[in-house]
Amino acid sequence: MDVKAAVAWQADAPLSIETVQLDGPMAGEVLIEIKATGVCHTDEFTR
């Protein structure tokens, strides 16, 4: 399955939004859709 991901290729560089290939859910796993997320100031500062 193709998904969009924010990829960090090196430290102190901007994240790159890319399409990556992931395997689908295996037995005993579930697939969820995330509608929204957030990043707090501390997350940005410590990356």
Going residue by residue through the chain (47 aa), what tens digit of pLDDT does each one get? 999 998 999 988 888 999 999 999 999 999 999 999 888 888 777 65
C-alpha distances out from residue 10 to 5, 23, 27, 29, 47, Å? 15, 25, 34, 31, 11
The pTM of the whole model exceeds 0.75: no
Tell me the residue range of the domain where 37 lies: 2-46
Q: What pLDDT, on a 0 to 100 scale, did the predictor assign at position 47?
A: 56
Q: What pLDDT, on a 0 to 100 scale, did the predictor assign at position 36?
A: 92
Number of domains in the chain: 1
